[in-house]
């Protein structure tokens, strides 16, 4: 099987456009995971960003649920940023090719 590197370069821009469209589509997708038999539910978008957190009142004091939800979202965002920095450090120049980083 012969692969012409010039053909690959010609197709690179089409691949990049296709990849960008795929990323846009994924951003609008969501998935919800739960734990504790549904006591805690977390929804992420296709970019692995935390969209929402739902806690059943039996899990905590009912007066603290909104604050606890905000704290969970903030902690998740902080963790995502820390992972991105870690990946940048580990991947070095290769991380430039990943828009999420």
Residue 98 pLDDT: 55
Q: Does 93 score more than 70 pLDDT? A: no
**pLDDT over 90, % of the chain:** 0
Single out the residue of 23, 21, 30, 80 nearest to residue 51, CA to CA. Answer: 30
- Per the domain annotation, does 85 fall within a domain? yes
Q: Report how many domains make up the chain.
A: 1
Q: Which domain holds residue 49?
A: 30-97
**47 — pLDDT class (breaks 50, 70, 90):** confident
- pTM over 0.85? The answer is no
**100 — pLDDT class (breaks 50, 70, 90):** low
CA 29 to chain centre: 11
- Per the domain annotation, does 24 fall within a domain? no
- Per the domain annotation, does 71 fall within a domain? yes
Single out the residue of 75, 72, 14, 83 nearest to residue 47, CA to CA. Answer: 83
Strands (E), 14-99: 30-35, 40-45, 50-55
- Per the domain annotation, does 11 fall within a domain? no
- Per the domain annotation, does 59 fall within a domain? yes
Domain of 71, CATH number, reads 3.30.1310
Q: For 46, how many CA atoms within 13 A lie in the half-sphere containing its CB?
A: 9
**15 — pLDDT class (breaks 50, 70, 90):** confident
CA 36 – CA 40 distance, rounded (Å): 6
């Amino acid at each position: 099987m012969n692969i012409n590197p010039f053909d690959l370069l010609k197709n690179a821009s089409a691949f990049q456009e296709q990849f960008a469209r795929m990323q846009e589509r994924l951003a609008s997708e969501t998935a919800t995971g739960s734990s504790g038999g549904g006591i805690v539910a977390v929804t992420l978008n296709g970019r692995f960003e935390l969209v929402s957190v739902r806690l059943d009142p039996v899990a905590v004091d009912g007066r603290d649920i909104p604050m606890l939800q905000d704290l969970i979202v903030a902690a998740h965002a902080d963790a995502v940023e820390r992972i991105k920095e870690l990946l940048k450090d580990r991947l070095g120049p290769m991380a430039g090719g990943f828009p999420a980083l």
